[in-house]
Structure 1
Amino acid sequence: MGAIYLIRHGQASFGAADYDQLSGTGVEQGAVAGAELLRRKVRCTEGRTGSLARQRATAEIVLDWLGSAALAKEDPRWNEYDHVDIVANHGGGVRQDPDDPRGYQEVLDASLAAWARAGDRGPCAETWPRFAERVRAALADLVAVLRKGESAVVFTSGGVIGTIAGHLLGDPEMGLLRLNRVTVNCGITKLVSGRSGVSLVSFNEHSHFEGRDARLLTYR
């Protein structure tokens, strides 16, 4: 069997002029996740990252721990949905407010549900069905190059991870709306691929943010 580790990026800069940058906490989270994969003796033979700055920066930090930084190949199909476009079309264009992250999350949750309901008829540049299809295609292409006993590490986002987990459980929309909601920054989701296909082995592991590193546990 081959193993695929999906890593959610470290904490981004919520409410800042440029959200798509790791915060100081996000940088620390990447180092802890890298140390965790090293502890597990993960031998990375394939690396993938979306093209977003927060994903690429997390990949650089984590893969440096594994001595595999050169393996990170950029593939924008691993990018997150465009939350700005979705909220603009389904949530009244509310902006991130660093003083009220919970309020923004409520708007985003409702907007994602409306985005999914709209299907192919939705007004966003990328509809929910198209997002789900490109995520599945990215996973399928990675599985196709992964040989027995090899491991891939992918740096992506909560919506992508939730959708893939939901897909493997038979309900990608549930994954988008419920699993995505609880993904932690630099959490680890493990898939295995074999003759019977791809299976979800674990979702959103984050024990590496317990104990002395509990202060680094964040969801947004």
Structure 2
Amino acid sequence: MPELFLVRHGQASFGAKNYDKLSPLGHQQSLWLGQYFTERQCHFSQVFTGTLVRHQETAAGILQGLDEAPEPKIDARFNEFDFATIGQAYLNLYPTETLAASASPSEFYRLLKKAMLAWSQNQLNPDDVSESWQDFKTRTSGAIECIKSQQAEGPVLAVSSGGAIAMMMSVILGLDAVQVIELNMQIRNTSFSHLYFNQHNIRLSSFNNVPHLDTLERLPSITFS
């Protein structure tokens, strides 16, 4: 069966005015991953990314580390959900939970978990969100179907985001919303999940791998944003 390497983007610019771009470390993580794939003699037959800048910059870094690779195909079905809109929709209901500008990343992620849970339970005002939880699941299911339909002659690489990857796992493994939210918080930057697929099935082999960062000197480079 053909292989799929489903990669979360490199570290983005958390706390900056524009989150949707890689940090210097994010670029380095992506290059290291590409070099790892080259060392493993992994020759990709197809490459997919979402439309987000952090996806395409990650793919570019990976491809820079490869000996050769095809031109990426851009597909919005691999995009992340709009977490800023989801968070604001939650705060519209619970304004007392608004965070201070100096809030830590851990405080932000606790708030995001609450917002995602409310979103998954259809508690948010539909007029305040760009897509429903079910719409998001349907969209990412479409990304899976896109992969399954490929007549791949070699491994396929896809670059996406933590929430989208977690939702894909829910479709593949039959997970509930709480499990999706927990997985979303665990997915590391430039980690890959390894799967096998054909036109009928897609099977998970391993999840959230960072072998390119699993050395003593690179352990500080393992990030979650």
Give me the TM-score of the superposition, normalised by structure 1: 0.91
- How do residues 50-129 of structure 1 correspond to structure 2 at under 5 angstroms? 50-92=50-92, 94=98, 97=101, 100-118=104-122, 122-123=126-127, 124-129=129-134
Indicate the residue corresponding to 2:34 in structure 1: 34
* 2:177 maps to 1:173: yes
Paired residues of 2:7 and 2:193 also in contact (CA < 8 A): yes
The whole-number CA distance in structure 2 between the counterparts of 1:12 and 1:172 is: 27
Identity of aligned residues (%): 27
Secondary structure class of the residue paired with 2:122: helix
| Higher deviation after alignment, 153-162 or 38-47 | 38-47
| Higher deviation after alignment, 109-118 or 207-216 | 207-216
The whole-number CA distance in structure 1 between the counterparts of 2:199 and 2:18 is: 43
How many residue pairs were aligned? 219
- List per-residue Cα deviations over 1:154-183 (Å, max 9, x = no partner): 010001111111221111524521111100
**C-alpha displacement at 1:138, in angstroms?**
1.4
* 2:206 maps to 1:202: yes
- List per-residue Cα deviations over 1:1-46 (Å, max 9, x = no partner): 0111111000010111111110011111111111121222211011
**C-alpha displacement at 1:69, in angstroms?**
5.0
Give me the TM-score of the superposition, normalised by structure 2: 0.89
Paired residues of 1:97 and 1:104 also in contact (CA < 8 A): no
Paired residues of 1:46 and 1:151 also in contact (CA < 8 A): yes
The whole-number CA distance in structure 2 between the counterparts of 1:44 and 1:96 is: 45
Paired residues of 2:193 and 2:207 also in contact (CA < 8 A): yes
The Cα RMSD (Å) is 2.1
Structure 1 unmatched ranges of 5 or more: none
Paired residues of 2:3 and 2:197 also in contact (CA < 8 A): yes
**C-alpha displacement at 1:80, in angstroms?**
0.3
**C-alpha displacement at 1:116, in angstroms?**
0.6
| Higher deviation after alignment, 206-215 or 156-165 | 206-215
The whole-number CA distance in structure 2 between the counterparts of 1:106 and 1:76 is: 27
Secondary structure class of the residue paired with 1:81: coil
Indicate the residue corresponding to 1:22 in structure 2: 22
Paired residues of 2:126 and 2:132 also in contact (CA < 8 A): yes
Structure 2 unmatched ranges of 5 or more: none
